[in-house]
A and B are shown apart, each in its own frame.
Chain A
Amino acid sequence: MSRLRASRFGGQETLDSVAGAKTRARDTRAHVVPTPIRTRLLKTVAGFGVLLIVTCVIAPLVGSSPISLARVFDRSIPFSENVDAQIFFVARMPRVVAGVIVGAALATAGVVFQALLRNALATPFTLGVSAGASLGAMLAIVLGATISAGPLSAVPLACLAGAAIAAAIVYRLATMQDRAMSTTVLLLAGVTLNSFFSALIMFVQYIADFSQVYRAARWIMGDLDVGSFEPIMAALPMLAIAFAMFAWLPSSLNLLSVGADAASARGVDVGRTQRLAFVSASLATAAAVSLAGPIGFIGIVVPHLVRLIIGVDHRLVLPASALFGAAFLVVCDLAARTLLAPLEIPVGVITALLGGPFFLWLLVRKG
C-alpha cells in the first residue's frame, strides 16, 4: 500500500504510483501485484454510491415539519390538498436533487482545478469564476433586474454571464504567450481577478441600499431551497456537458498533476487536457453557483477527504468525489434546514462547520 500513500501532489513516487497501466507494466519496482483499476473503480463507486443513495433516501424523509409517508403517496387526496405530499415533492425533493448536483459539481471541479493548477489549495473559486458569478448576481440584485430566459431568472442568468466573462479573461491571459497554458499565469491571473471582482462587489454593495446588500450577503452564503425543479432543469444541461468532459480527464490529470513536461513526455496532449480541464471545471462551477450560490468548502474538503480514503488516482478520485460531494452537501443541507427549525442556517455555514473539523480529524488520524 505504500505506493498509494505517496505524497498527494508532485513527486516521482506519485507519478509511478498513479501513472497509467502502460507505465505500471514496465515498472520493475512493483512488489505487490496491483488490484486492477476496474475492480477498484467498481468498489469505490459502489461504496460511495451506497452512501449517496442512503443519504438521498433519508434526506427527504426528515425536515422541519413532520410528514406522514402514507399520506404523501395517498392518491385519494388531491395533490393541491395534500400538504404532506407538497412538502415532500415541492419543498424537499428539489432541495435534495439540487444538493446532489451542486455537491457533485463543486467537488469534482475542485479535484480538476487542484490537478490543473498542481496546487492542493485550489478550489472551484480560486480562478475568479465564482467572483465573476457573484458580481453578476450582485448587479442583478442591486439593479433589480427582471430579465429572464426560459427557466433562468435574472440572478442565475447574470451569474452565468459573470462567470463566463471571468473565465474568458483568465483563459485568454493564460494562453497568450504560448500554446499551452501557463499554470503560474493561470493561478496569478485568477487570484488577481478574484480580488478585482471582490473590489467591484464591495463597491456595488456600498452604493446599494440595505435590503439589496442583505439579499446579496445572504446569496453569498449559499441556499439550496430552490422551490421547484425549474432552476435545476436550467442548470442540468451545463452540468451534463461538464461531466461528459470530466470523463475524458482522469488519466491525463494523473500525469498532469506531476508536471506538464513529464505529462507531455508520456504522450499527453498537455494543451488540450488543460483546456478541457479548465473549461469543464469552470462550467461545472458556474452552473453550481448559479443554482445555489457560492457554497464554500466542498470544493476543497471533499477531494482531500476522498484522497485520504482511497488514494490519489484521479480515475477513482473523480467519481468518488462526485458521489461523496453530493452526499456531503445533502447531509449539510439536511442539518441547515432542521437544526434551528423553523429558522434555517445558511448551508455554506454548515459545510464549513461540519467539513472543517471532520477534515482536520481525518488529517490527524491518517497522519
Chain B
Amino acid sequence: MVTGPKRLIGLAFVAVLVFWAAPPATTQQRPAAAQRIVSLVPALTEMLFAIGAGPQVVAVSSYDEFPPEVKSLPKVGALLDPDMERILALRPDLVVSYGSQTDMQAQLARAKIRVFSYRHAGLNGVFATLKDLGDAVGRTTDSERLSREIRSGLDAIQARVRGRPKPRTLLVFERDPESLRGVYVSGGVGFLHDMLGIAGGVNVFADVARESVQPSVETMLARAPEFILEVRATGLLAGADVTQAKRVWGVLASVPAVQQGHIQILTGDHLVVPGPRLVQGTEAFARALHPDAFK
C-alpha cells in the first residue's frame, strides 16, 4: 500500500503543508565535522550526497528515494515515527531532523548526539540550509560550490524567460482524482511559489501568505488563472493525462487557462523536493509556461 514513490508525495506534503515558513535552519553548537550522519529529511539527504558527504551518511528516513545510493542504507523511520533505538544503535554523531521533532531532539541531546534541526522555508532557506549543513559536516567549500551552481542554474532559467509575458498561474499540487474537490495550491510563500516566480509565472494566490491554500471553486473562478500547472511527485492520479485534467477543469469555463487549454501536469519528485534538484524542477515549470523560450 505504501509504495516507494508514494512516500515521496508524502515528503512533498511535508514540504508544502505541514510546515509554515520558518526561520532558516540552525545548528546547535558544532565541534568537529560529523562522520556518522543519520538524515531524516530527504531534501537534506540529497544535499548531503550532492556535497560529497554521502559516505558519511549511515542511515536515512523511510521516505528517502534519491540519490539511488540511499536504497542500500538502513531506513530509520521518518517525521512521525523515528525509530529511536535503531538511530542510537547506529551510533551517529549527527542527526538531521525536522524542527518539529522536538521530543526526539531532546532524547538525542540527552544521549549527547548533535542535532541538525531543519524547517522548510522558501528558496533562500535552501541556501541557508546548504551553508549550515556544509559547515556541520565539514564540507563548506563543496556546499558553497553547490549553492553557486544552483544560483547560476536558476539565473539561467530566469534569463531565458526574461521579457516574456508572465502568465497568471494556478500552481496545483493536490486534487481529488476526477473532480475539483480537495484542490490544494501554492500560496505566496514557500519554495514552489519561488520556483514559479523564477520560471516566469505569477502565482494567482501570491497574496495569501501561506505555503498551501485550499481554494474554493468560487475563488478559482474569481482569480481567473491564465495557466493551470499541476505538479505531482508521482502518478498519484492513476491514468492521469492532460485530456482528463482538461475535462475536470472544464467546469470552470470562464477561466482563461481552461478556454485556451493552458493546463499541464508535471510529474516527478524533483518538482516538490526542495533539494539540489530544484533547478531541474524550476526548468520544468519554465518549459511548461514558456515552451517557446526553450526551442
A interface with B by C-beta (< 8 Å): 63-65, 79-83, 85-87, 90-92, 142-144, 146, 148, 153-155, 207-212, 214-215, 218-219, 223, 225-228, 337, 341-344
Partner of A83, one of B18, B177, B224: B224
Q: Chain B residues with Cβ under 8 A from A82's Cβ?
A: 254
**Structural contact, B2 and A80, CB atoms closer than 8 A:** no
Bound CA span A214–B18, Å:
9
**Structural contact, B217 and A225, CB atoms closer than 8 A:** yes
**Structural contact, A65 and B238, CB atoms closer than 8 A:** no
**Structural contact, B17 and A92, CB atoms closer than 8 A:** no
Q: Is B208 an interface residue (CB 8 A)?
A: yes
**Structural contact, B182 and A227, CB atoms closer than 8 A:** no
Bound CA span A215–B174, Å:
9
B interface with A by C-beta (< 8 Å): 1-2, 6-7, 9-14, 17-18, 63, 79, 174, 176-182, 205, 208, 210, 213-219, 221-224, 236, 238-239, 251-254, 259
Q: Chain B residues with Cβ under 8 A from A218's Cβ?
A: 182, 214
Q: Chain A residues with Cβ under 8 A from B181's Cβ?
A: 223, 225-227
Look across to chain B and name the residue whose beta carbon is closest to the beta carbon of A204.
Answer: B1
**Structural contact, A64 and B253, CB atoms closer than 8 A:** no
Look across to chain B and name the residue whose beta carbon is closest to the beta carbon of A143.
Answer: B1
Look across to chain A and name the residue whose beta carbon is closest to the beta carbon of B253.
Answer: A80
Q: Chain B residues with Cβ under 8 A from A228's Cβ?
A: 251
Look across to chain A and name the residue whose beta carbon is closest to the beta carbon of B6.
Answer: A209
**Structural contact, A211 and B217, CB atoms closer than 8 A:** no
Bound CA span A238–B169, Å:
40
CB distance from A25 to the nearest CB of B (A): 54
What are 28 A-B pairs with beta-carbon distances under 8 A?
Answer: A63-B218, A64-B216, A64-B218, A65-B218, A65-B219, A65-B221, A79-B253, A80-B259, A83-B254, A86-B254, A87-B222, A90-B221, A90-B252, A91-B216, A91-B218, A91-B221, A144-B236, A155-B176, A209-B2, A210-B13, A210-B17, A210-B18, A211-B236, A226-B181, A227-B251, A342-B205, A343-B210, A344-B214
**Structural contact, B1 and A142, CB atoms closer than 8 A:** yes
Cβ-closest 10 pairs across A and B: A209-B10, A65-B222, A91-B218, A80-B253, A210-B10, A210-B13, A211-B13, A91-B217, A227-B180, A86-B254
**Structural contact, A211 and B12, CB atoms closer than 8 A:** yes
Q: Chain B residues with Cβ under 8 A from A337's Cβ?
A: 216, 218
**Structural contact, A209 and B221, CB atoms closer than 8 A:** no
**Structural contact, B219 and A211, CB atoms closer than 8 A:** no
Partner of A87, one of B178, B214, B221, B251: B221
